[in-house]
Amino acid sequence: MYIHIGGDKSLDEEDILFMLPKKTVLSSYDTRRAMNNLIGSGRVTELPGGGPETYIVCTGERPAVYASGISSTVLAKRGM
């Protein structure tokens, strides 16, 4: 099943490793540092639709991180 994560991007739910709410990323020093490194190296794709609310880490042919303006709660419901 594919999940629409914002903009014109949809992902196969089997490729999603985890989704982190922005508040979780900001509340942990180690997670915040890791995400800042990923952003700084250009490995995070920010999707249109406002500031990031959720970071989605994927695997597959090319590992990727997406910053979606859609909350992790809504994204999780789309995958049910």
Edge-to-edge strand order for the sheet containing 16-21? 16-21, 54-58, 64-68, 44-46
pLDDT along the chain (80 residues), means of 10: 89 89 91 89 85 84 83 82
Token pair of 75 as six digits: 């994204």
pTM reported for the whole predicted model: 0.83
Q: What residue segments make up the domains of the chain, in order of their start?
A: 2-78
CA atoms within 13 A on the CB side of 46: 12
pLDDT at residue 49, rounded to an integer: 77
pLDDT value of position 21: 92
Q: What is the pLDDT of residue 61?
A: 63
Report the DSSP beta bridge partners of residue 4.
10
